[in-house]
Amino acid sequence: MAAAQDSYLKLLSNPLARELAGRLKLPRPAVLRRYRPGDPLLPGPVLVLGAGDSAGTLASALLDWGLDVRRHATPGERIGGIVAVLDDVAEPGDLAAPALALGACLRQLAPGGRIVTVSRPAAASAGAAAAPAAAAARQGVDGLLRSVARELRAGATGNGILLDDGVDATAPGVLGALRFLLSGRSAYVDGQFLLVGPGTGTVPADPDRPVAGRAAVVTGAARGIGAAIAEVLRRDGALVTVVDVPAAGEQLAAVANRIGATALQLDITRPEAGARILEHAAGRHGRLDIVVHNAGITRDKLLANMDADRWNAVLEVNLAAQLRMNEAFLASDLLGPAPRIVCLASTSGIAGNRGQTNYAASKAGVIGMVRASAPVLAGRGGAINAVAPGFIETDMTARMPPAAREAARRLLPSLQQGGLPVDVAEAVAFLASDAADGINGQTLRVCGQSLVGA
C-alpha cells in the first residue's frame, strides 16, 4: 500500500519513537483524519463565527445536520470545526473583529479539526468588480485563511468557500462544499478556495452515497490514483467502468474484480476512444454520467535535452486525448442529462517543475481546457472541474531519491507528510457529485498546502 511508503510516519505511531522525535525537535506529523463511513462529520462541536444574517442561517443549517453548533466558544472546550462567515465584509477594518475572534479559538481546535471561511470574491465570475474597499477586504480573507492554515497543527486544515453573485450561504452547493471541507474527505486539501456559483439546486439524497446509481468511467485505473478514484466512486454508489491500456489488462481486471466494476482495455489516444467508452457504458448502464480523465504519463527531461517523441507523447496522452474524448462525449445522446467531468491536473501545471516542461505544459493545458469548457457543460446542466495533486505517495514518488522524497514530505508547512491516492480520489468523487452544485471550471489543489503553486 502507498501508505506504507512513509516509513518515518509509520515509525512515529510508536509512542516511544514519537517522544524521542519531540526531544530531538524532529518533525512529528499527525495521522490525518480521513473519511470512514459511519464516523461523525467532526471530532467535536462546530463554532460558527460572524455577526451577519448569513452566520445565523448557516448555523441553523448545520443544526439540521445534527451537529453540535456553538455561536460562542466555551473556554477549555475542544472544538471540532470553526466556520467563519465573512460574506458581509465591506472594508479592511471589518476584518479585525472576526480575525481576532478566530485567533482566540485556535488553541481549542481539536486534532484533525477544520476551519472554513465563507466569503465573497473580490470580483464575481462574470467579471464585475466590487468597490475598491470591499475588494480589498474580500481579498484580505484570502491572505487570512491561507496564513492561518499554515499555523495549524495536529492534522487540522483551513479552507474557504467563495459565494458568487446571487448565491447565499445556504445554497445547496455551499452546503455541499462545506460538508466536504469539514469532513475527513478533505484531509489533504489545505489553504484552498472553492467558488460556488448559481447551480441547479440539487443535493445528493444520501451524503454518504452521493453518486448512487450514476454511471462513471475512470481512465488510467489499473493502479495508483486511478484505482483509488474508481474504488471511492464505487464506495459512494457509482456504477464504475475502469479503463487502461491493454498492457495493464491483468492489473485492470484485478481492480475491476475487487470493487465490482467492469473493465475496458483501451488506448485512449486512439481516435475512436471516446466512442468506445460511450458504447461500453451504454451497453451496461444505458448512459454515461461521470467521466474522470486520470490517465497520464511523464517523460521527464530538461528542455535543452527534450526530443519530439518525449514532448509529443506527453501532450497526446495528458491533453489531446482528453479534448478528443470530450468532443465525442458532448456530441452524443448517450451522455447523461447532468454530466460531470473531472480531469487530473497537477501542481506542476500551476507552478512549473524543473525537468517537466512537457508534463507541466500538458497539465496547465488541462486547467485551461476545463475553464473554457465550463459554459458548455453548464448548458447541459453539468460541470467540468480539475483536481491538481501535489506530493502524493505513489509508485512514481517511491522512485525519487530518498533524500528528495523525505524533504518533499517534511517541508509541507503544516501537515508535514505526503498525501495518499485516496485523498485525490475523495476530491474527485466530491466534484463528480451533486454536492458540488455550482462549482464549475475550477481547479482544486490536493497538495497539503505545498509551497508549489499559488
Asked: is 46-196 a CATH 3.40.50.720 domain? The reply is yes
Q: What is the mean pLDDT of residues 194-210?
A: 93
Cell numbers placing 353: 517543475
Helix (H) or strand (E) holding 230: helix 224-235
Q: Positive or negative CA dihedral for 150, 152, 156, 162?
A: negative
Nearest-angstrom CA–CA distance, 130 and 331? 38
Give the up-direction half-sphere exposure of residue 230: CA atoms within 13 A in the CB hemisphere: 31
pLDDT the model gives residue 233: 98
Given a cut of 60, whether residue 452 has pLDDT beyond it is: no
CATH code at 215-446: 3.40.50.720
Residue 298 has pLDDT above 50, yes or no: yes
* Percentage above 90 pLDDT, the chain: 81
DSSP code, position 38: T
Higher pLDDT, residue 353 or 116: 116
Secondary element (H or E) of residue 239: strand 239-244
* Rg for the chain, CA atoms, rounded: 22
Q: What confidence score (pLDDT) does residue 215 get? A: 98
Locate 86 and state its grid cell: 465573512
- Answer whether residue 14 shows pLDDT above 90: no
The average pLDDT across 377-396 equals 91
Task: Write out the three cell numbers for 435.
Answer: 454536492
Residue 289 near residue 241, CB atoms below 8 Å: no
Q: Is the pLDDT reported for residue 74 higher than 70?
A: yes
Q: What are the two backbone dihedrals, phi and then psi, of residue 416, each rounded to the nearest 5 degrees? A: 55, 35
Distance CA(363)–CA(349), nearest Å, equals 5
- Overall average pLDDT of the 172-181 stretch: 98
Q: What is the pLDDT of residue 28?
A: 65
Q: What is the pLDDT of residue 244?
A: 98
Written as one letter, the residue type at 83 is V
Look up 188 and say whether it is catalytic: no
Residue 454 has pLDDT above 50, yes or no: no
The single residue listed with the C-alpha cell 491483468 is 250
The residue ranking higher by pLDDT, 152 or 395, is: 152
- Rounded mean pLDDT of 135-143? 97
Write down the domain spans for the chain: 46-196, 215-446
- Per-residue model confidence (pLDDT) at position 123: 85
The whole-angstrom distance between residue 5's C-alpha and the CA centroid of its chain comes to 22
Same fold, 46-196 and 215-446: yes
For residue 4, which amino acid is it?
A
Predicted TM-score (pTM) of the model is 0.92
Whole-angstrom distance, CA of residue 120 vs CA of residue 132:
14
* pLDDT for 131 beyond 60: yes
Average pLDDT, the chain: 91
pLDDT category at 30 given cuts 50, 70, 90 is: confident
Task: Name the 3-class secondary structure at 1.
Answer: coil
Helices (H), 331-393: 348-351, 357-379
pLDDT of residue 404: 59
247 grid coordinates = 498492457
Note the pLDDT of residue 311: 96
From the number of C-beta atoms within 10 Å of its C-beta (0-12, 13-18, 19+), residue 17 rates as middle
pLDDT, mean of residues 408-412: 60
Average pLDDT over residues 244-256: 98
Residues in Cβ contact with 194 at an 8 Å cutoff, skipping those fewer than 6 apart: 159, 160, 161, 162, 177, 181, 439, 442, 444
What distance in Å separates the CA atoms of residue 53 and residue 230, rounded to the nearest whole number?
A: 41
Residue 81 β-bridge partners: 46, 114
Strand order in the sheet with 215-219: 262-265, 239-244, 215-219, 288-293, 335-344, 383-389, 443-446
Q: Which tens digits make up the pLDDT trace of 87-112?
A: 999 999 999 999 999 999 999 999 99
Average of per-residue pLDDT across 303-312: 96
Once rounded to an integer, what is the mean pLDDT over residues 271-299? Answer: 96
Mean pLDDT of 276-285: 96
| pLDDT at 434 > cutoff 50 | yes
452 secondary structure, DSSP code: S
Whether pLDDT at 304 is above 90: yes
Cβ neighbours, 10 Å, residue 76 = 7
State the DSSP string of 261-321: -EEEE--TTSTTHHHHHHHHHHHHHSSEEEEEE-------B-GGG--HHHHHHHHIIIIIH
Catalytic residue among 8, 35, 188, 359: 359
pLDDT of residue 22 exceeding 80, the answer is: no
> What is the pLDDT averaged over residues 49-55?
95
Distance CA 363, CA 119 (A): 29
The pLDDT of residue 220 is above 90: yes
pLDDT at residue 138, as a whole number? 96
For residues 418-445, one letter each, b for 16 or more C-beta atoms within 10 angstroms of the residue's C-beta and e for the rest, the string is bbbbbbbbbbbbbbbbbbbbbbbbbbbb
Q: Check pLDDT > 70 for residue 4.
A: no
